[in-house]
Homo-oligomer: A and B are copies of this chain.
């Protein structure tokens, strides 16, 4: 049905080799040849077949972005979606195509198989089964991990220091004079959960504050759950003067609860989040939070996978991204 390089060759009067050459390096071919070939191609509505090309070149220029199945929703996830956005823009600029996949299908009988030979490299965001990673690496596929670190030879990772970030948040609250601080901790991957939890405990110890475990709660990181826990804690007579929420979504639920109870933020209750997601500056009062440089994550991940694909030197190995405090009006 669709026309092939042979049709163009016949119509233009040249050989398939010349046609191929013309499409690959137009400048390496005399002008008359070029125009004749392109003319014929246009007339036949011809377009080089990317699959056939990939077959001989052993390159597809496709990069996969796999989101841990623990992260649902995939595209809408407030932490990962800015990373995906940056990766997409970066990768497209270098003429790669981006393929996105929640990693569920990798566990399907044939899912893992199909993915492999169609990709030049794989980006994995979040916690994943090491078996999957090994599967890719056994095929000599370059892999870069995002917000996850595994000590495998030849594997590159980009992470953030969630302990340091959480300390920033806690220190800020302490500096503002808060002596009683509640914790609403999202149950992300155990690693992230504990890094932030430990920061909460450590900073308080260092400042001789006592942890009141009635105001420490782990929960699913969504607004309604945060709203519920925060509501019940905020009505307590000896409630904390501040809440450390381990992400912005939880912080927003907490603020909602406070506002509904008629409490003033930050005078009656201070709230701090983590992520500096888009929402944090949209709500009123605006949320004080920890900015994690997700743009750097996306950029480095994209550039690294491309460098690996092209066997170019890697600028930095296993790079840890910065976090900083963004003071707004909720503290």
Interface residues of chain A, those whose CB is within 8 Å of chain B, are 1-2, 45, 47-52, 54-55, 60-62, 73-76, 81-82, 84-85, 88-89, 92, 95, 97-102, 104-105, 108, 111-118, 138-140, 223, 252, 255-256, 259-260, 278-279, 281-284
Contacts and interface: CB of A to CB of B under 8 A. Distances in A.
A166 B175 CA distance: 48
26 contacts: A45-B139, A47-B139, A48-B113, A48-B117, A50-B113, A51-B55, A51-B60, A61-B114, A73-B85, A74-B88, A75-B84, A76-B82, A76-B85, A88-B100, A89-B102, A92-B101, A95-B111, A97-B115, A97-B118, A98-B99, A99-B100, A100-B100, A223-B281, A255-B284, A259-B284, A283-B284
A73 B138 CA distance: 35
A124 to B, nearest CB: 16
Contacts of A73: 85
A51 B92 CA distance: 21
A92 B117 contact: no
A85 B100 CA distance: 11
Interface centre among A98, A104, A118, A256 (most CB of B within 10 A): A118
Nearest to A72: B89
How many copies altogether? 2
Interface centre among A54, A81, A82 (most CB of B within 10 A): A54
Nearest to A112: B47
B92 A85 contact: no
Nearest to A92: B105
Contact of A98 (B2, B100, B139): B100
Contacts of A47: 112-113, 116-117, 139
Contacts of A75: 75, 81, 84-85, 88
A196 to B, nearest CB: 22
A92 B102 contact: yes
A2 B51 contact: no
Contacts of A49: 117
A323 B58 CA distance: 48
Interface centre among A84, A104, A284 (most CB of B within 10 A): A284
Contacts of A89: 74, 102
Nearest to A98: B100
A82 B98 CA distance: 18
A15 B101 CA distance: 34
Contacts of A279: 279, 282
Contact of A50 (B74, B82, B85, B116): B116
